[in-house]
Amino acid sequence: MASIFFQGIRSNQLIVYPLAHFSRIQTAVYCTLQRPQGQARPQEVSFQEQRKVQQTSSQTTTRKPLEQNMQGYEAIIGIETHVQLSTVTKAFCSCPYFYGSPPNTTICPVCMGLPGTLPVLNSKVVDFAVKLALALNCELSVTSKFDRKQYFYPDLPKGYQISQFDIPIATKGFIDLDLPVEFGGGHKRFGITRVHMEEDAGKLLHSDSGSYSHVDLNRAGVPLLEIVSEPDMRSGLEAAEYAAELQRLVRYLGVSNGNMQEGSLRCDVNVSIRPRGQLELGTKVEIKNMNSFSAMNRAIDYEISRQFLLHSQGQSDQIVQETRLWEEGYQKTVTMRKKEGLADYRYFPEPDLPEVVVTEDYIENIRSSLPELPELKRRRYEKMGLSMQDVLFLADDISVANFFDSTLENGAEAKLAANWIMGDIAAYLKNEHLSIDEVKLTPQELAELISSIKGGIISGKIGKEILFELITKGGTVQKIIEEKDLVQIVDPGAIEAMVDKILEENPKQLQQYRGGKTKLQGFFAGQVMKESKGKANPTLLNKILSEKLNANSK
């Protein structure tokens, strides 16, 4: 376990302070901030809130595709990602957090920033921070500390955020990923500047009229990890894929659900452009309010185009350091507020929290507990001979990857298992809006199904029927085959008798076939399969049928 040290006074254990007795409000309570009539509504909007914009053809602005060359300019993109941790309690108190809880029902004096309260660090936050830092190939700080970052927002009642500034938990890492095949593919590595621990703020819920706002403090104090990338990305696609890989990573590690729609994964993107070959960075603009990876891609490309247009028109001075919002309805970015600088935050060390000291044994214990990460899994699948399209699909979701791996452990061939999972199973899951963990099909039975088809016991067509029953009702392949008498017919004599019967019942089609309409062979094959209730061996059937059809042809 991580050892915690107070500044100047060393302690051998994490001291847990009992919370003051506080009777929680059990009903939904809002703190309402009333503004004078005519005063503009505050521009601050939480990440997961999209402005309601009427999407009509007259209002929607169509933007031109981003020019590939940008006539001598290049985009520089960096991302600050906030990951909400899946801890049982908040970062510095014993309050739980449940997304969607009634407002102000999971709070206490510490969350509310009441005078005289003291924060106590949740040790699980350190565990998760070290785990993610190791997965991101970072250098860990043996000793790190917390700082106060000054804000004056209504949803931050203390007037500051507990964060880490000059000594974060981890620095100097990187993440590897593969770009989608449909966009040209390729392997990319993006640098990680730092990973640090901090707490979340509450949430403002603005009225439709804009005359007042509700304050919900449920989210205040929820633990976050902020991951700051190097400015290594050059397009909206690369940035979106980087964010998707981070989401994949935190889900593999189990440190967060990574759901963007719940605000568990929030990305603030910094975009600037500069002439190619210039080392000095241009004026960066921050973009917020993107609740999907596709929206991030479009927002960044729009902003690159906007800045390039200003440069090309000799108005580069119009590009200022600011925070902009992505308006989904208008497909454009709009000014939110001028960007604060470091001096505005007035950082200073948090006097109420000890330093965090991690030992080598502690680090190695966490390192040994790491699962196979997405990048390693993709490389392993690639060595199996799977295509990159297969690799990216299977490794995208840890539940799908685990299902695939377990199917292989039960004897299935990699390519056959991939085909079934990516084909019929994926289609069913998409149509029913289910995850692979929510169906009754097991990896053992999928392996048995593949083996039964490969061994000629059942046909591929019957295999699809059995698969549907396994997914919806469960059971075993062997039992379904026995109960429904689905064993494939491989007796040449039995198949020949059925072929003769079908040819005799369809003399007109037989005459047409022998007259040159050879595509009718499919018609005859279908009739035989119908006669056999799908149990005739397809290879043997086509061989016998071809011989019969061409026996008397001239």
Q: Across 346-400, where does the E strand assignment appear?
A: 348-349, 355-357
Measured CA to CA in angstroms, residue 93 lies from 17, 113, 117, 158, 352 at distances of 9, 11, 10, 14, 13
Residue in the structure block whose two tokens are 């938990």: 169
Note whether 393 and 431 are within 8 A (CB).
no
CA angle 404, 405, 407 (to 5 degrees): 65
Joined together, the tokens standing for residue 482 give: 């026995």
Dist. CA 38–CA 108, nearest whole Å: 34
Note whether 210 and 176 are within 8 A (CB).
no
Joined together, the tokens standing for residue 371 give: 């699962």
Joined together, the tokens standing for residue 527 give: 């009739």
The rounded radius of gyration (Å) of the Cα atoms in the chain is 31
Joined together, the tokens standing for residue 78 give: 């960096």
User: Who's near 465: CB < 8 A, 6+ residues apart?
Assistant: 486, 534
β pairing state of 187-199 and 170-178: antiparallel
Q: Listing from the earlier edge strand, what are the strands of the sheet with 31-34?
A: 31-34, 212-216, 203-206
C-beta atoms surrounding 265 within 10 Å: 25
Backbone angles phi, psi at 96, to 5 degrees: -80, 170
pLDDT of residue 184: 85
Per-residue H/E/C for 263-302: CCEEEEEEEEEEECCCCCCCCCEEEECCCCHHHHHHHHHH
pLDDT of residue 541: 87
Note whether 450 and 487 are within 8 A (CB).
no
Joined together, the tokens standing for residue 531 give: 């006669």
Joined together, the tokens standing for residue 404 give: 């695939």
Which parts of the chain have pLDDT scores under 70?
Answer: 1-69, 339-342, 552-554
C-beta atoms surrounding 143 within 10 Å: 12
β pairing state of 212-216 and 170-178: unpaired
Q: What domains are defined for the chain?
A: 66-356 (no CATH), 372-484 (no CATH), 492-550 (1.10.10.410)
User: Who's near 358: CB < 8 A, 6+ residues apart?
Assistant: 2, 3, 126, 130, 140, 141, 142
Dist. CA 303–CA 239, nearest whole Å: 13
How many helices (H) does the chain have, and how many strands (E)?
Answer: 18, 18
Dist. CA 260–CA 467, nearest whole Å: 33
Dist. CA 400–CA 305, nearest whole Å: 38
Note whether 192 and 172 are within 8 A (CB).
yes
C-beta atoms surrounding 511 within 10 Å: 11
How far, rounded to the nearest angstrom, does the alpha carbon of residue 487 sit from its chain's CA centroid? Answer: 42
Scanning 443-491, the segments in alpha helix (DSSP H) are 443-454, 460-473, 477-483
Joined together, the tokens standing for residue 416 give: 């056959």
Per-residue H/E/C for 434-445: CCHHHCCCCHHH
